[in-house]
Amino acid sequence: MSEHPHSALVRRGYEAFGEADRETLRSLLTADCVHHVPGRSRVSGHYKGRENILDLYRELGELTGGTMRVGLRGVYPDGRGHVMAVHTIYADRGDRGIEMPGGFWFTVAGGKISDIDECVQDIDEADAFWGAPG
C-alpha cells in the first residue's frame, strides 16, 4: 500500500524540521503559507508567509537551546487537501522541560503546504513553557 502524496509531503516536513533543513522546509511551503500557533505566549500568533514561518522555527530552536524535537506519531490525509498529524513535542528551556502531545492540521494546495493549524494538549502549560509575550 503506497502512502498518499499529502502524507508524504507532511512527513518530509517533519523530517526537515528535525534536521533544521530550512531549504527543504522552504520548498514545502507556499509563499503565502500561514502557521497558526495557539495560546498567549511569546510564540503564539499567526505567522504569515514562508519566511516568517521559518523565522518562527529558528526562534523555537534558539529558545530551547537546540533541544526541541518532535516525535511524529501518525499522519492522516482526508484525500481532499487536508492532513492531520499527531506528535509529541520534547524540549527544555531554562529550568523547564516539556513533553506534550499535540498536532497540526495541514492544508495542501498545489502540492505544497498552504496552512498549518497547531493544537496542543494543554495550552496553559505550553504558554508557561514558552513564556509571556515580549
Residue 63 in domain: yes
Q: Is 134 contained in some domain?
A: no
Residue 21: domain span: 5-129
Say how far apart CA 116 and CA 109 lie, in whole Å. 12
Handedness of CA 44, 81, 84, 67 (dihedral sign): negative
Cβ neighbors of 1 (< 8 A, separation 6 or more) are none
Q: Could you report the per-residue pLDDT of 97-118, keeping only the tens digit for each?
A: 999 999 999 999 999 999 999 9
Query: Looking at the whole model, is its pTM more than 0.75?
Result: yes
For residue 108, the domain's CATH number is 3.10.450.50
Number of domains composing the chain:
1
Find all residues with CB under 8 Å of 63, minimum gap 6, and list them. 42, 43, 93, 130
- For the stretch 31-69, pLDDT in tens is 999 999 999 999 999 999 999 999 999 999 999 999 999
